[in-house]
Amino acid sequence: MSAKGPNSDKELFYSRNIGIAAHIDAGKTTTSERILFYSGKNHKIGEVHDGNTTMDWMVQEQERGITITSAATSLIWKNYKINLIDTPGHVDFTIEVERSLRVLDGAVAVFDAANGVEPQSETVWRQANKHKVPRICLINKMDKVGADFFMSVKSIESKLAANPIPVQIPFGAEDKFTGVIDLLDMKLFLWEDSSSKMGDTYKTVDIPAENLEEVKSFRGKVIEKIVELDDALLETYLNGGDLTLEQLKASLRNSTLKLKAFPVFCGSAFKNKGIQPLLDGVIDYLPSPLDREVVYGTSLHTSEPIEIKVNSQDPFCGLAFKIANDPFSGNLTYVRAYGGQLNVGDTVMNPRLNKREKIQKLLKMHANHREEIQSLSAGDIGAVIGLKLSGTGDTLCSDKRVVSLESIKSPEPVISLVVEPKSSSDQEKMIAALQKLEREDPSCRLKTDPETGQTLLYGMGELHLEILLDRLKREFKIAVNTGKPQVSYREVITKSANASYTFEREIAGEGHYSRVDLKIEQIAYDKGLEFKSNLSLTKDFTQDILKAVEDGFRESAEVGVKAGLPLIGIKCTLISIDLRKEALSELAFKTATMYAFKEALKTAACELVEPIFKVEVNCPESYTGGVVSDINARRGKINSIEMKSQGIQVISAEIPLEKLFGYATDVRSLSQGRASFSMEFFQYASVNPKILAEILNSLGR
C-alpha cells in the first residue's frame, strides 16, 4: 500500500505532529496505547505490565516496563492526521526526548495526579521551552490513591513557572473517579466502570444540579484566565458582553500557540477514562505545521539565513533526527520534512559532510512496523532507507537549495566503563557493534584510552550503560567483560584567551602553509563546544578549509591540560587567516588550529569539573533525619524539605555523581525499604580544591 504525505495547506491544516512526554511512570505509554486503540489504529489495548504495548516494542522495554527509545506512529482522529511520538521518561534517555521535541509541533505533558510535577517533568518542560513547543497537559491517574487534581495544577504553576488553564475538572477522585467535567462546554463525560468495558464509549450528560454552582464558579475563573490574555475578549467581557464557546476556544488556542497558556485535561489512561476528550484537545489547541514559527536555515554558499516555507513546491529541506539500526536494511533514518517534497530515488545533499546520498525507500513507521510510501512532503515525518553517512541532527536538502538547519545537540556523557570481549577474536566485531549503537544514540560515546588501549563506553547513567551492554549481547551476540563504572570528569577554561600559530612545513615533497588567529572563551558547560568564524567564504577561503579549522579545534579539545580530559563549555572563534601563499592546504589549517588552541589553553586557566545530579527522595517523616545525614556525608547540598501528604516528606538535593554509586541500596536500607528516589543530571560544577588531588591521583595525574 502506498501513502502520500500532506502537500496542500488544507491537508497541513488537518495535520498534527505531537509527542507524549513526562516523568517516568506518569503513564505516557499507557496514554499512547489508549490513543491508538480509540483512534482505531490498534484493535486491542496493550499494557505496560503485560509487556505487550505497541510503542514499547524493544525486548528491554517490555521486560523492564519502561520506555527506552522514542517510537513513532500515525493515526487518524476526526479527519485529522496525527503523527505521534512516545518518548522515554527516565533521565538516562533524555536524548530521545531532546531530538523528538526538536522536530515536533506540539506535545502532551503527562503528570501523575498524586505527585504533580516531578524532577523529569521539569527537565522535559525545559526542553520543550527551549524548542518553543506548545503543550497541553494531562493530569493522569485520577483513580490513584492520593490523586489531587488541583495540587497538580498548582505544581505546574509554581514549579514550572507556567500558566495552566484547566479546561476540565475531575468528577470524583481515587476509586470514585468516573468522568470529567468540561468547563467550556459545561458538560459531564461519564465512563462506565466495568472490567468488560474498554472505555471506547462514554456518555455526555448534564452536570448534576448539586455540582452546578461549584462548576460555574470554576468556569468563571477559567474564562477570566483566558480573556486576560486576549485584549479584544477582555474588553467584551468587562463590558458584560457574551462570549461564545467558539471565541473562548479560539482565544485559548491562540494563547497556547504563543506559549502563554497550557490547557489542562484530566483522566485515567489505565482505567480508560478521559482519552477521547484529550484527543479533541490535541486538535483544538495544538498547532498544525502551518501554525509553527518560521523555520530558518543557513545558506551554505552565502551564510545568509533562508526561510524554509511549509510547502511542497520548494526544493526539499528536512532534518534527520533519529537513526535506528535495522537488521534487514541497515540504517533507518527518521526525517522531519520542513519544506519541499522527498521522493523515492531522489538524491539529497548533506551540507555537514558536503556529500550526496540516495533515497532507496521511504517509510511510514508504526513503532517497529512499517509501510512503504512514495514521497514525504513538507510538514510530515517519515523514515528513509539508504542513507549510509548521515547522522542525528544532519540536514538533508536538495542540490537546488543547499541550506543547513540548526542541528541537535547531544548531552555530554557523565559515566563510563571499560568494556572488552570475552573472546579476543570478537574485538573487531564488538567495536563495529558499539559504533552502530553510538550512531543510533549520540548520548553514548565510544573511545579508546590512548595509554592502555582499553575500549571505553560512555553514557548518561548506569541504566543507560546497562541497556547498551544488554543490546550488545542480544542483538549482536557479543559477550563482554566490563570494569566498574567511572565518573566522567571534564575540563573547562575560566578565562578568555587569544592565540596565533603559523604552520609551514614540507611533507612528502609538498609545501604546506597556514596561519590562524583564534579566540577561545567560556560558555555554559551544557553547550559543549561551539565554533564560529568571523570570516566570509571566498573562492580561496573555502568550506573545506573552514571545516579543517573546526575539526582542528574539536580534535584538540579532546585532551585538556589539567588532567588530559575532554574540554567542555568553550566557544572558539576564528578571527583571521593568512591566504597569501600558494602552499595552502586543509592539513596545514587543521594543524595550525590545533597548535593555536593548545597555546590559548596555556593562559585560559583550566580547571576540573564534575557532574552533579539533582536527587529527590520521597520518604516517611520518621526516616528524614537519616536520609539527610547520608546526603550530607555524600558531599550533597540540601535544597528543600517539603511535606507532601500522608506523612511523606520530599527531600530535594544536589549530589556529585561520584557519591551516588550504590545509592539505591543505601536509601532502601536507611528507610527499611519505604523510601523512593529519582535522580537526573543537573550540571557540571568545579571540583572542590580539598578533593582535587585525590581525584587527579585516581585519574593517574
* DSSP category for residue 204: E
pLDDT value for 674: 84
pLDDT band at 89 (very low <50, low <70, confident <90, very high): low
Contacts for 404 with CB less than 8 Å, ≥ 6 apart: 297, 298, 300, 351, 352, 395
Average pLDDT, the chain: 88
Strands 262-266 and 295-299, bridge-based pairing: unpaired
Superfamily of domain 415-482: Elongation Factor G (Translational Gtpase), domain 3 (3.30.70.870)
For the stretch 580-627, pLDDT in tens is 766 678 888 999 999 999 999 999 999 999 999 999 998 899 999 999
Three-state DSSP state, 216: helix
pLDDT band at 541 (very low <50, low <70, confident <90, very high): confident
**Average pLDDT, integer, range 545-566:** 93
605 conformational bin, left if phi > 0, alpha if psi -120 to 50, beta if neither = left
- Residue 446, judged by CB atoms within 10 A of its CB (0-12, 13-18, 19+), counts as middle
Highest mean pLDDT among 114-123, 216-225, 360-369, 537-546: 216-225
- Residue 676, judged by CB atoms within 10 A of its CB (0-12, 13-18, 19+), counts as middle
Residue 506 belongs to what H/E stretch? Answer: strand 497-507
pLDDT value for 149: 97
Domain extents in the chain: 9-206+259-285, 295-404, 415-482, 491-604, 610-698
Alpha carbon 244 to chain centroid distance? 38
Measured distance CA(51)–CA(302) in Å, rounded: 52
**Does the structural domain 9-206+259-285 have CATH classification 3.40.50.261?**
no
- What does the angle CA 329 – CA 331 – CA 332 come to, to the nearest 5 degrees? 90
> What is the residue whose three cell numbers read 510530515?
380
For the stretch 640-650, pLDDT in tens is 998 877 788 99
pLDDT value for 628: 96
Asked if pLDDT for residue 695 goes beyond 90, the answer is: no
- Say which amino acid occupies 77: W
Measured distance CA(296)–CA(308) in Å, rounded: 6
Measured distance CA(567)–CA(185) in Å, rounded: 56
DSSP output for 677-696? EEEEEEEEEEPPHHHHHHHH
Measured distance CA(468)–CA(498) in Å, rounded: 41
Asked if pLDDT for residue 473 goes beyond 50, the answer is: yes
For the stretch 183-210, pLDDT in tens is 999 999 999 865 446 767 899 999 999 9
Using an 8 Å Cβ cutoff, are 626 and 513 in contact? Answer: no
CATH number for the domain running over 610-698: 3.30.70.240
Strands 203-205 and 187-190, bridge-based pairing: antiparallel
Measured distance CA(254)–CA(454) in Å, rounded: 56
pLDDT band at 221 (very low <50, low <70, confident <90, very high): very high
**Average pLDDT, integer, range 93-101:** 82
**Average pLDDT, integer, range 540-550:** 89
Strands 529-533 and 570-577, bridge-based pairing: parallel
Q: How far is CA 624 from CA 49, 277, 377, 656, 682, in A?
A: 31, 41, 56, 20, 23
pLDDT value for 542: 85
Of 581, 577, 578, which is closest to residue 510 (Cα–Cα)? 581
pLDDT value for 61: 46
Measured distance CA(253)–CA(263) in Å, rounded: 9
The CATH fold of domain 295-404: Elongation Factor Tu (Ef-tu); domain 3 (2.40.30)
pLDDT value for 357: 95
Please write down the long-range contacts of 446-451, taking CB distance under 8 Å and 24 or more positions apart: 449/418, 451/700
Highest mean pLDDT among 23-27, 327-331, 664-668: 664-668
> What is the residue whose three cell numbers read 591540560?
561
Measured distance CA(160)–CA(168) in Å, rounded: 20
Asked if pLDDT for residue 180 goes beyond 90, the answer is: yes
> What is the residue whose three cell numbers read 513513532?
72
Residue 372 CB coordination number (10 Å): 13
pTM of the model: 0.79
Domains 415-482 and 491-604 share a fold: no
pLDDT value for 6: 44
Length of the chain: 701
Asked if pLDDT for residue 365 goes beyond 50, the answer is: yes
pLDDT value for 272: 92
Using an 8 Å Cβ cutoff, are 486 and 415 in contact? Answer: yes
Cell of 165: 488553564
For the stretch 393-446, pLDDT in tens is 999 999 999 999 999 888 888 889 999 999 989 999 999 999 999 988 888 999
pLDDT band at 56 (very low <50, low <70, confident <90, very high): very low
Measured distance CA(211)–CA(512) in Å, rounded: 84
For the stretch 346-358, pLDDT in tens is 999 999 998 999 9
pLDDT value for 210: 94
Asked if pLDDT for residue 654 goes beyond 90, the answer is: yes
Using an 8 Å Cβ cutoff, are 90 and 463 in contact? Answer: yes
CATH number for the domain running over 491-604: 3.30.230.10
For the stretch 280-324, pLDDT in tens is 999 999 999 999 888 999 988 787 899 999 988 899 999 999 888
Cell of 238: 468587562
